[in-house]
């Protein structure tokens, strides 16, 4: 039966939670992608850094395929104009993939961490006591999520950002914005989309 004119549509809490997750985590992933796809390299100080100089400094092993691709993007000393342009284009593409890969990994791990916290308190017993534990868990989780994203940002800086001469605020915004947006998205989902059993209108965790 059609609704009368002026009738307000009421959304179930589960729908609001799904919309909240889709919105905040979608924005946290979309903005870095748009920056690397549309703004890069027009607002940057120069071309991509030579990644082969700093891959050995990473605290983990780099796949051989990445090392080979990076080495192939270094033009020989006697390269012509076409070869030089092709090498610089490949270098830019590899750099964007490296930055995007670290951003995507930090995004996925941050979201997984937040979802694991949420799953722990979906059907708790003794809701009041559990809510206090959930607050402590939230604070420790946010500390871990921030540490995770700072590690990702540090790896991006170590691999290539430190090599960029004359870097500007645009370089930092394009390369590191995702590592800030991930914790912000986590905070919003922690505080606004917590399980109904531990959330309420005037509680620490708000109910949508």
- Within a domain: 61: yes
**Distance between CA atoms of 51 and 57, rounded to whole angstroms?**
11
* Structure tokens, 4: 């009368």
Question: What tens digit of pLDDT does each residue of 72-120 get?
Answer: 556 555 556 676 666 666 777 778 888 999 999 999 999 999 999 888 8
**Distance between CA atoms of 157 and 66, rounded to whole angstroms?**
17
- Within a domain: 3: no
Mean pLDDT, the chain, rounded, equals: 79
- Within a domain: 55: yes
35-39, 134-138, 203-207, range with greatest mean pLDDT: 35-39
Using the predicted structure, report yes or no on whether residue 7 has a pLDDT greater than 60. no
- Within a domain: 18: no
**Distance between CA atoms of 67 and 71, rounded to whole angstroms?**
6
Omega before 126 within 30 of 0, i.e. cis: no
Domain count, the chain: 1
pLDDT of residue 83: 63
Residue of 40, 51, 48 lying closest to 174 (CA atoms): 40
Domain that holds residue 113: 26-198
- Within a domain: 207: no
CB-based burial, 142-165: b 16+ in 10 Å, e otherwise: beebbebbeebbebbbebbbebbe
pLDDT of residue 204: 80
Q: What angle do CA 177, 181, 183 make, to 5 degrees?
A: 130
- Within a domain: 12: no
pLDDT of residue 48: 74
Residue of 188, 190, 187, 158 lying closest to 175 (CA atoms): 158
pLDDT of residue 24: 96
- Within a domain: 206: no
Provide the 3-class DSSP secondary structure of residue 10.
coil
- Within a domain: 2: no
pLDDT of residue 109: 97
């Amino acid at each position: 039966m059609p609704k009368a004119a002026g009738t307000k549509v009421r959304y179930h809490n589960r729908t609001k939670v799904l919309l909240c997750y889709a919105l905040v985590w979608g924005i946290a992933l979309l903005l870095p992608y748009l920056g690397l796809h549309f703004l890069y390299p027009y607002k940057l100080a120069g071309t991509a850094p030579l990644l082969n100089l700093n891959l050995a400094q990473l605290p983990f092993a780099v796949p051989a395929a990445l090392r080979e691709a990076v080495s192939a993007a270094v033009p020989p000393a006697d390269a012509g104009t076409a070869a030089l342009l092709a090498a610089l284009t490949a270098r830019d593409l590899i750099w964007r993939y490296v930055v995007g890969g670290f951003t995507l990994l930090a995004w996925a791990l941050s979201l997984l961490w937040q979802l694991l916290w949420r799953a722990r308190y979906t059907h708790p017993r003794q809701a009041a006591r559990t809510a206090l534990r959930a607050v402590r868990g939230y604070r420790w989780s946010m500390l871990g999520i921030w540490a995770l994203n700072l590690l990702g940002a540090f790896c991006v800086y170590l691999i290539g950002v430190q090599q960029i001469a004359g870097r500007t605020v645009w370089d930092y915004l394009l390369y590191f914005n995702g590592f800030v947006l991930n914790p912000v998205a986590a905070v919003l989902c922690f505080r606004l989309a917590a399980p109904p059993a531990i959330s309420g209108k005037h509680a620490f965790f708000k109910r949508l």
